[in-house]
Amino acid sequence: MLNPIQMNRLFLIIILFFSFPLWAQELNGRVMSLDDQGNMEDIPGATVYYSADKLGTNTGADGMFKLRVRTFPGWLIVRAIGFAPDSVWVEKSQFVHLHLTANNKELGEVKVVASPGGHDVQSIQSREILTMKTLAKAACCNLSESFETNASVSVNFTDAITGAKQISLLGLSGTYVQTQVENVPSIRGLKSTYGLNYIPGTWIRSIDLAKGQSSVVNGYESMTGAINMELVKPDTSEVYFLNTYGNSQGRFEINQQAVHKFNGNLSTALLTHYSQQVSRLDGNKDGFMDLPLFNLVNVMNRWKYASDKWMVQWGGGYLHEQRVAGQMNFEEKTSNRYFVYGFGSATSRFESFAKIARLFQTKPWKGLGLILSAADHRNDSYFAFKQYVGREQSVFGNLIYQSIIDNTNHTWKAGSSFLYDAYQERYLDSTYARRELVPGFFGEYIWTIPNRFTLVIGNRVDFHNQLGTKWVPRVHAKWDITPIWLARASVGKGWRRVNPLAENMGFLANARSIKLVGDLNPLEEAWNYGFSLSHEFQLANRKANLVFDYFQTDFTHQWIVDMEIAHAIRMYSNPGASYSKSAQIEFNYSPLPRLEWKAAYRFQNVASDYLSEIGGLRRLSKPFLNRDRVLVNLAYATKYDIWKFDLTWQWSGPRRIPNAYVHAGDAPEVNAPAFSMVYGQVTRQFKHWEMYVGVENLFNFTQVNPIMGAADPFARGFDATMVWGPVAGRMVYTGLRYKIN
């Protein structure tokens, strides 16, 4: 027999034993993805973290997870690569169903870089992802207009005639941003002149915007950031999609996409775009068209083959565009170009690509991918009697191998790339031809402490036939201080070869002469470093997040395009310092269900040393660039997204413009005034289609005299490059989207 004490002990042990399941209860759930079309898929490998017990696990292949939880209530936080993190308040043992949406404007959030072969690789950069939902907020029309609700990127016209646009990120122009489509080089070389207009908005599924340097795997050209777009895939669920668009300024568009699945492995997609500016518009009555007339045809056909061992994607595209602008009475065929100012441009481009990936089913961490692309680009332009002809043929290849050391906490990538780029350009009576051959090698090591810390060290060496051997080191680090506080830092180098004419085409729209000064070095090279801090929290029980980042770019070599002296554009290699400092703070908050509020402030300090006419250097802030910018976006949707409302207010602070009248080197600074732009849009969803109505530049703000000397375009004072604000006024647009699933 047991004595009472023993009895008590046994009783206690029994209680302890049996009550254990009571203390540690099961918390089960399932994590799935949810896209704009309502499609869902299980997310394997998502990280699940339970705050009250500081417990974590990962979801299985079916997206399911199981946790043994001791304390209630607590936050259940779910993170998955490529998705916005989500959290839910759990009060009792239950089955939790979580739906993650693709990473939406989650600055600095870890995101899938679809490396060839679909092997997703964690990147640790400061990133923003613009999903279809975000892109639909600015319904018009192509990549150049996709950043209206984005605080980091601004888009400006390069001049008041050609309609060419240039983005700027961290205070530097788009040529320093590596722009790729599905990791294939896209907007570079001669395409950079009008390239932003050549990617139709409806083709884009998402835009991945990375600040600071990108991975060495993608090349050496990213200096301030990288943009990678994902387009419509052949295996999407939408069988057919049609979009039509028209606006009050006389522009219309038709976009179509059709996909077909031949069997489980093979599928194809056909994407078409046609757009036209039909009417001549002269709101400011300066005798010049505010917007160029154009028509653009853009067609792309792509294929995908996927099996257990191989994933192959290939395709090709063609685009043709014609632009005519200049004086209202200019006719391309009949006008005398010595008396009536006209601008014309004809572009045609062939592109093709192939991405081949070898998959290893039993070793998902291993991958071998090859990216190949080729392009042929032709442009013929004239600015009055000044003729430009440009031809470019390029071939690019990138071979990437990826594997691990012992376990997936130590992964590495290595590979080799090759670029062949042949240019032939003619401007006035000069011919410029060059052939670039750039073989290169790269390696990257990624060290991960799950949910805590990630470090990426990358190096690449490229051998440029004109610029010599170039070494590019890059380091990225990410630290999860707590699940709601994240810190990131990066430092690295980037370089590129300048295309003086194609990148500055808009600067030909004036009577200035081009002067090349001193020994010119076509190399541009910069170090970029920065950090970001993001914090997620609850405000009145609703989700909020705050992101701060700071980036600095220091050029060691730069090609300066100097407009500081009237009547000339001087180009020279950077004689002194050139830098860009950029800080941004962004606050996102959802005060009510389906109501989202975003407010951001950006500060930029960008300056270079310019050669003064009397010799010596003069440090000036970069012209046409505003130091301060504020963006506020308010988005509301009714239940089931039947009605969607969107309102954006952008305020751009004053900016310096080159003093075009005074020749003296110590002339006082001239500043353009600050201005506001307001965008609004309403979308109504029906069962199979959607209709939207919107307005751009609601308060009809325009720059008073975008073209200097417009009265006499053949005199010395003519200059259409002094553009700092909108040229065309208020614009109302409407369109519809129709889809068959």
Using an 8 Å Cβ cutoff, are 196 and 182 in contact?
Answer: no
Q: Is 685 in the site for other proteins (CB under 8 A)?
A: yes
CB under 8 Å to 443, separation ≥6 — which residues?
216, 412, 413, 414, 458, 459, 460
Least distance (Å) between residue 686 CB and other proteins: 6
Q: Is 89 in the site for other proteins (CB under 8 A)?
A: no
> What count of other Cβ atoms lies within 10 Å of the Cβ of residue 538?
12
Quick one: which of 686, 700, 716, 740 contacts other proteins (CB under 8 A)? 686
Least distance (Å) between residue 93 CB and other proteins: 17
Nearer to other proteins, 18 or 640 (CB): 640
Q: Is 97 in the site for other proteins (CB under 8 A)?
A: yes
Nearer to other proteins, 22 or 642 (CB): 642
Point out which span in 159-167, 400-408, 665-673, 680-688 binds other proteins (CB under 8 A): 680-688
The site that binds other proteins (CB under 8 A) totals a number of residues, namely: 17
Using an 8 Å Cβ cutoff, are 255 and 128 in contact?
Answer: no
Nearer to other proteins, 32 or 177 (CB): 32
Least distance (Å) between residue 40 CB and other proteins: 4
Quick one: which of 8, 19, 39, 307 contacts other proteins (CB under 8 A)? 39
Nearer to other proteins, 15 or 239 (CB): 239
Q: Is 32 in the site for other proteins (CB under 8 A)?
A: yes
Q: Is 518 in the site for other proteins (CB under 8 A)?
A: no
Query: Before 73, cis peptide (omega within 30)?
Result: yes
* Pairing, β 225-231 against β 177-181: parallel
**286: amino acid identity, one letter:** D
Query: Before 141, cis peptide (omega within 30)?
Result: yes
CA proximity to 498, closest of 420, 560, 582: 560
Q: Is 22 in the site for other proteins (CB under 8 A)?
A: no
Q: Is 640 in the site for other proteins (CB under 8 A)?
A: yes
Q: Is 237 in the site for other proteins (CB under 8 A)?
A: yes
Least distance (Å) between residue 66 CB and other proteins: 17
Write 475-482 long-range contacts (CB < 8 A, 24+): 476/123, 476/124, 476/125, 476/212, 476/213, 476/215, 477/124, 477/453, 478/110, 478/124, 478/453, 478/454, 479/452, 479/453, 480/451, 480/452, 480/453
Least distance (Å) between residue 301 CB and other proteins: 25
> What count of other Cβ atoms lies within 10 Å of the Cβ of residue 221?
23
Quick one: which of 26, 41, 613, 712 contacts other proteins (CB under 8 A)? 41
CB under 8 Å to 738, separation ≥6 — which residues?
241, 242, 243, 688, 689, 690
Q: Is 28 in the site for other proteins (CB under 8 A)?
A: no
Point out which span in 151-159, 382-390, 423-431, 639-647 binds other proteins (CB under 8 A): 639-647
Least distance (Å) between residue 59 CB and other proteins: 13
Q: Is 233 in the site for other proteins (CB under 8 A)?
A: no
Q: Is 687 in the site for other proteins (CB under 8 A)?
A: yes
Q: Is 40 in the site for other proteins (CB under 8 A)?
A: yes
Q: Is 42 in the site for other proteins (CB under 8 A)?
A: yes
Q: Is 35 in the site for other proteins (CB under 8 A)?
A: no
Kindly provide the residue ranges of all beta strands, DSSP E only, lying in 102-193, ordered along the sequence.
Answer: 111-114, 120-123, 126-130, 153-157, 165-169, 172-173, 177-181, 184-187
CB under 8 Å to 557, separation ≥6 — which residues?
495, 521, 523, 524, 525, 526, 573, 574
Q: Is 90 in the site for other proteins (CB under 8 A)?
A: no
Q: Is 94 in the site for other proteins (CB under 8 A)?
A: no
Q: Is 741 in the site for other proteins (CB under 8 A)?
A: yes
Q: How far apart are CA 698 and CA 474, in angstroms?
A: 43
Region for 692 from its dihedrals, namely left if φ exceeds 0, alpha if ψ lies in -120 to 50, beta otherwise: beta
Taking the alpha carbons of 512, 513, 519, 525 in that order, is the dihedral positive or negative? Answer: positive
Nearer to other proteins, 433 or 642 (CB): 642
Q: Is 54 in the site for other proteins (CB under 8 A)?
A: no
Binding to other proteins (CB under 8 A) within 303-342 occurs at none
Q: How far apart are CA 328 and CA 291, in angstroms?
A: 11
Quick one: which of 18, 263, 639, 661 contacts other proteins (CB under 8 A)? 639
Kindly provide the residue ranges of all beta strands, DSSP E only, lying in 278-339, ordered along the sequence.
Answer: 293-306, 310-326
Q: Is 661 in the site for other proteins (CB under 8 A)?
A: no
Least distance (Å) between residue 29 CB and other proteins: 12
Residues that bind other proteins (CB under 8 A): 30, 32, 38-42, 97, 99, 237, 639-640, 642, 685-687, 741
